[in-house]
Amino acid sequence: MIIRPARNVRGELKVPGDKSISHRSIMFGSIAKGRTEITGFLESADCLSTISCFRKMGVEITRGSDGTVTVYGRGLRGLKAPSEVLDCGNSGTTTRLISGILAAQDFETTLTGDESIRKRPMRRIIEPLSLMGADITSVLGNDCSPLRICGRPLHGIEYTTKVASAQVKSAILLAGLYADGPTSVTEPDLSRNHTELMGRYFGADITSSGTTATVRPAAELYGRKVEVAGDISSAIYFITAALLLPGSEVLIRGVGVNPTRFGSVKVLREMGADITLLNESGEGDPQADLLVRSSGLKGVTIGGSVIPAMIDELPTVALAACFAEGTTVIKDAAELRVKESDRIALMVKNLRAMGADVEETTDGMIVHGGKPLHGARIDTQKDHRIAMTFAVAALLAEGETELADGDCVNISYPEFYQDLDRLTIR
């Protein structure tokens, strides 16, 4: 994939549906009773992995010509033993969340995935699910996928996580639906709360207080209509391009603005970004249109409780920091090292290849803004967010940029290059 510099980006856009919410809509829909109709579902490789896993467990899931996805739920205890291994592809969300459900079934399953997923840490779910009574093991004994899960009756636990992770929290809460008493999870900082919101919407007894979420055993959940908001993690590429390319103005319609996901906009505004929220609507997971205009940015320190609320957007905000006046420090973000790639190491390597002044730290990076970027060959390691971040960097650089394995954007945003092209003025 070759990308050339741009003059600016202008126009209107609707980004695809939120990946986290799309996964959860299939999962809750599958274990609920009755029909769940999902509009705005994200048809990307990751979410299709979730659909494929539940189909293999006997759930009928169909797609209408207008993109509406219908899940014919089988009820809390209605999943069937799959006859083959469940392939979660590249998806950490599929692997970790589904493990919570599988831990309570009366059958055995094996989960696997691609090269990246088979390197990601699974001890973080193996430990709490085992404490609940689950029989879950890493087949190769390396605390990674493939995982073998033999369903067992589960007990409620009170668990404190070491890291703020919605995937870990959600695995425990989903298992807790099947436990013999209340289960609570306390995290160091609040991670995205889509599981709590959607669980409640489907009829589960889930309460939240501070960074603790508590679920009580459920008798049954009931299928609902779900409208998936646009993904802020996909909007961030257009927000950043519009902020940094002079003379840009972009209106992004229907973006999810749940505060547990909105850290990037909060931080960019602190840096001086002109981002206006229009037409806010929706309960549960609220949405708004975002109007973004080019802005001069200033360096800031980014750390603490805002990190989980912008974890997937941090690489793109680091790119923005290269164009800010002064220094930006990103800290408390060691979790970036265990995403689809080591996003700290890979961001620093690629930003440096383009001429940026960046230092790697154990839990983040230090970006000295103001050095112009030039085109380079970018190593994406098939990480979709790295590819999209550097597609934006390429618009801002002098000369051509080449993205290796640029088609990895299919993981979360199959139409990314077409949308970017449509808004770009050269």
Closer residue to ligand S3P in complex, CB, 263/299: 263
Listed in sequence order, the residues at least 6 apart from 209 whose beta carbon sits closer than 8 Å to its beta carbon are none
Q: Is 289 a catalytic residue?
A: no
| Count of beta carbons in the 10 Å neighbourhood of residue 297 | 22
Structure tokens at 282: 């929706």
Min CB(278)–ligand S3P separation in Å: 26
Closer residue to ligand S3P in complex, CB, 47/395: 47
CB nearest ligand S3P: which residue? 20
Closer residue to ligand S3P in complex, CB, 187/289: 187
Cα–Cα dist 404/292, whole Å: 29
Closer residue to ligand S3P in complex, CB, 56/339: 339
Cα–Cα dist 239/250, whole Å: 8
Listed in sequence order, the residues at least 6 apart from 145 whose beta carbon sits closer than 8 Å to its beta carbon are 88, 95, 111, 112, 113, 117, 118, 120, 122, 138
Min CB(93)–ligand S3P separation in Å: 4
Min CB(182)–ligand S3P separation in Å: 22
Closer residue to ligand S3P in complex, CB, 192/224: 192
Please check whether residue 46 is in contact with residue 94, taking contact to mean a CB–CB distance below 8 angstroms.
Answer: yes
Cα–Cα dist 88/255, whole Å: 26
Min CB(310)–ligand S3P separation in Å: 10
Residues at the contact surface with ligand S3P, assessed by CB under 6 A: 20, 93, 165-167, 170, 191-192, 311-312, 335
The residue from 18, 231, 289, 312 that is catalytic is 312
Structure tokens at 137: 């093991």
The two beta strands, 357-361 and 364-368, are: antiparallel
Min CB(335)–ligand S3P separation in Å: 6
Nearest Cα residue to 161 out of 184, 132, 134, 177: 184
Q: For the residues of 299-339, what is the DSSP string, one character each? A: --EE-GGGSGGGTTTHHHHHHHHTTSBSEEEE-S-GGGGGS
Cα–Cα dist 256/198, whole Å: 14
Closer residue to ligand S3P in complex, CB, 96/152: 96
**Buried/exposed 30-61: b ≥16 CB within 10 Å, e otherwise:** bbbbeebbbebbbbbbbbbbbbbbbebbebeb
Min CB(191)–ligand S3P separation in Å: 6
Active site residue ranges: 312
